[in-house]
């Protein structure tokens, strides 16, 4: 039986549980809120790390005509989730831009830029985030990408991996498919 221990204190998924568990939990109304005991799974925060261009590029909706606009739209949609998927770090290729600016975007969403534009820049930045010694550990991270090579690299570090389609279903409000 699923219970509240599957959720982090921010409503995200506790470590060890993947996208299929979130989809099941979304069907369960009225899970109790954390009581702040700091000993339960609520305090094992899950961080989603999003490969922004991979998610954006997975839908041929004309994003290539306005790349910055597409990035802004993705960040705004993630902020609108109001923390329901836990903390989210959106990693973008290239150098920092004015929009969306690097740093906290609201509701637990943080924007990060790879810092350079060479091939696999964002991928390398995502792996570096997983390899850093500061919390959260890779076991508490779920990387969102459909890039096969990046998926392999992240899984090797101990992170959970989900495809771009999974995140887009969450954003579209269609978590059951």
Q: Report the 10 Å Cβ neighbour count for 46.
A: 27
Residue 46: per-residue pLDDT: 78
Q: Is residue 35 part of a domain?
A: no
Q: Is residue 177 part of a domain?
A: no
Question: What is the Cα–Cα distance from 50 to 45, expressed in whole angstroms?
Answer: 16
Q: Is residue 116 part of a domain?
A: yes
Q: Is residue 87 part of a domain?
A: yes
Confidence label for 171 from pLDDT (cuts 50, 70 and 90) = very high
Mean of per-residue pLDDT scores for the chain: 77
Question: What would the pLDDT profile of 37-56 be if each residue is shown by its tens digit?
Answer: 333 343 345 799 999 999 99
The domain tally of the chain equals 1
Q: Is residue 83 part of a domain?
A: yes
- Range from 95-104, 142-151, 158-167 carrying the lowest mean pLDDT: 95-104
pTM of the complete model beyond 0.85:
no
Q: Is residue 103 part of a domain?
A: yes
Q: Is residue 3 part of a domain?
A: no
CATH number at residue 128: 3.40.50
* Domain containing residue 87: 44-171
Q: What is the DSSP string of the chain?
A: ---GGGB-TTSSBPTT--HHHHHHHTT-TTPPPP---SSSGGGS--EEEEEHHHHHHTS-SSGGG-HHHHHHHHHHHHHTTTTTT-EEEEEESSS--SSSPSEEEETTEEEEE-SS-STTHHHHHHHHHHHSSSSSPGGGEEEE---HHHHHHHHHTT-EEE-HHHHHHHHTT-TT-
């Amino acid at each position: 039986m699923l219970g509240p221990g599957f959720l982090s204190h921010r409503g995200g998924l506790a470590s060890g549980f993947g996208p299929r568990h979130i989809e099941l939990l979304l069907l369960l109304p009225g899970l109790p809120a954390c009581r702040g005991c700091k000993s339960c799974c609520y305090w094992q925060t899950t961080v989603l790390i999003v490969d922004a261009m991979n998610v954006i590029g997975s839908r041929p909706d004309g994003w290539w005509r306005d790349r910055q606009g597409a990035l802004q739209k993705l960040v705004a949609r993630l902020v609108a989730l109001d923390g329901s998927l836990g903390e989210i770090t959106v990693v973008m290729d290239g150098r920092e831009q004015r929009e969306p600016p690097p740093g906290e975007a609201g509701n637990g969403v943080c924007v990060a830029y790879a810092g350079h534009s060479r091939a696999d820049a964002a991928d390398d930045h995502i792996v570096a985030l997983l390899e850093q010694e500061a919390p959260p550990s890779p076991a508490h991270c779920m990387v969102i990408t459909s890039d096969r090579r990046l998926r392999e690299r992240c899984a090797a570090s101990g992170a959970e991996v989900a495809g771009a389609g999974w995140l887009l279903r969450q954003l579209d409000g269609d978590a059951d498919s």
